[in-house]
Structure formats: structure tokens, C-alpha cells
Amino acid sequence: MALAVHSAGDVTRRQLMRTIPAHATGQLDDTALEPYGVISELARGGMSTVYLGEDRATGERVAIKALDAFYVGRSDVVHRLLGELELAQRARHPNLIEIRCADQTSQGVPYLVMEYLDGESLRALSERLRLPHGTIVAIAAQVACAVAALHDAGIIHCDIKPDNVFVLDDTAVTDRPRIKVIDYGVARSVGDPPLPDSAIAGTPAFMAPEQWRGAPAEASDVYALGCLLYELVCSRPVFSGSLPRLMTAHCDELPVRPAAICAELDPAIDRLVMRMLAKDPAMRPTMREIDATLSGLIASDVIARSA
């Protein structure tokens, strides 16, 4: 069974087809979406396309994530996309993207309806501007708080990276921009069995050793956030190279300390990042601890005076 939710608290269940019809295409036909209209394409991902849409009744703008044509016959991919709704509804937080509906069009194309976010990814923002350390810390604290809410709900994001942190336009020019953590495409529940080698999922530059082995845990998100922090303050990734090189480095090699690359970095940030990048998951702090540490630095105004 799969959930079809069309408003907060309004949950209905219906049997979804195991195999999507072969005639379904990647072009989203808004006549098959019932309450929503499609305005334009926003972005393409590995298996789906995100469109700017509109609620026909209210005029509110929404984002519609539809599975691409190549995957509509893959029942496992379909159920994973539709399952993002269930994960999103288990964890509510102001810094987590809201998913409002998961369903299929009358033509058999699975889709999600999400809140529309006006802004840009942290990846795009950091490539366009050199972010002060105070701004980086403020962003990372919000990510830690949001992902802590996922962990409290028994969810591992499994793909924390700058591309999946969205900086909202109305706050992007401030020292403390507001963010949303997005994309539950490879998220999983705590306690799910290990993945086979052929199904290991994530972004190689941000994957913890245990994630490479198919057994991601909450601490894997901590490691990924450590990689994100490192990349932003050092202007380079923790490790780089080919896929085999990245796997070997993340599993076996110690990174160069951030302070050795960025001399003006606050020692507290250097220590925190190195703890987050520990090879042993048990040696890493929790997301709550990270949030508390980063929020304390912001409150003390130490970071605001650094680069």
C-alpha cells in the first residue's frame, strides 16, 4: 500500500499499480494532475524532473517532482519516489521541505507536490559568493537542527550536501540566511537492513565509511555535514579524485585539518569538523551536539568577527 495525501491530516490509502504503464512518458501532462497546473520546468535530476506548478483553486505556487520516462516501469523506483511523502510526514521542522501530496497522474506518472522554494542551492550560492565563516556556521547550525529532527523520527537523510541545502531568496543576503534541507530521494529508516553493493546510494564526495559499505546510520549524516562544512570553509572538498579513489580516501585516509588550509578558522570549528569526520561513527558528535556547538559560537559572536 502507498499513501496519497492531499492536505495536512487528510490521509487516504489506495492500492497503487506495481508496474507503471509503458505508454507513460516523462512529459508531465497537467490535464492529468487534477488540482494542479504546470507552468515551467525548474530542474532535472538523475531520475526525475521538478516543475513549477500552481494550485488551480488557490493560485499558490508549488513544486511538482515527477519521475522521468526511463524509470516509470521500475516499481522499486516508483515506490521510493512516492515513499518520500511518508518520510517527510514523520518529521516536521521549519528547515525541512514540506511534501504535500504523493500520487500518480491518470496516465500513470508518479509525482510529488512540494512547497515551492524561491532561492538557490547552497552549492550555487557558494560558487557565486565567498561566504563569511559566520554565514557558513549559521547555515550549518540550521542543517544540523533540521537533520536532528529527521533522526528523532528515525530517518537517515543519506545525501547531505550543498546541492540539497536550499537558501531562501528573502534571506540570502543576510549574515544568517534561512535554509531548507531538501530531497529525500535516498533517505531510509533507521534499522533498515544493509544495502547490497549494487544498491549503495549517496554522493561519493560526502559519503561516510559505513555508507560505502551499505550500512548508513545517523552518524553518516554527521559525516556528510562535516564534509559540507569543510568544503565551505576551505574552498575545497575533503577528498577528490575518481570513484575508487574517493572510496579509499573516505574509508581509510585522514583529511588535512581545516585549520591547516584556512589559518584564520576558529579552533572550535576546526575541532568540530575533525570530530564529524571521524572514521568510527561512534566517535562523531550527534546532530544535536553539533547544533548546540554552532549555535553557541553564533551567540558568543566569536564567529562573526572571523573571516
State the amino acid at position 257 in one-letter form: R
At residue 202, does pLDDT exceed 60? yes
**Helix (H), strand (E) at residue 275:** helix 267-276
What integer pLDDT is reported at residue 250 of this predicted model? Answer: 97
Mean of pLDDT values over 30-49: 80
**pLDDT at residue 137, rounded to an integer:** 95
Grid cell digits, residue 199: 544498491
For residue 231, CA distances in Å to 29, 43, 90, 127, 140 come to 40, 24, 30, 11, 12
At 173, the pLDDT band (50, 70, 90 cuts) reads low
Nearest to 54 by CA among 30, 29, 34, 37: 37
> What pLDDT, on a 0 to 100 scale, did the predictor assign at position 52?
93
Residue 14 pLDDT more than 50?
A: no
Closest CA to 205 of 187, 221, 228, 184: 228
Higher-confidence residue of 87 and 2: namely: 87
The residue count of the chain comes to: 307
Q: Which of the residues are catalytic?
A: 159
- Helix (H/G/I), strand (E/B), else coil: 53: strand
**Helices 218-234, 133-152: inter-axial angle, 10-degree rounding:** 170
Q: At 69, is the pLDDT very low, low, confident or very high (cuts 50, 70, 90)?
A: confident
Q: Are 297 and 269 in contact (CB under 8 A)?
A: yes
Rounded to 5 degrees, φ, ψ at 19 are: -120, 130
Domain 2-115 is found in CATH 3.30.200.20: yes
Count helices and strands in the chain by DSSP H and E runs:
9, 12
- 119-305 sits in which CATH class? mainly alpha
What is the rounded CA–CA span in Å between residue 303 and residue 299? 9
| CB contact burial 175-210 (16+ within 10 A = b; e otherwise) | eebbbbbbbbbbbbeeeeeebeeeebbbbbbbbbbb
Sign of CA dihedral 109, 61, 156, 211: positive
Domain boundaries, the chain: 2-115, 119-305
- Residue 198 pLDDT exceeds 80: no
Are the folds of 2-115 and 119-305 the same?
no
Using alpha carbons, list the distances in angstroms from residue 129 to 77, 126, 167.
36, 5, 13
Say yes or no to pLDDT of 23 above 50: no
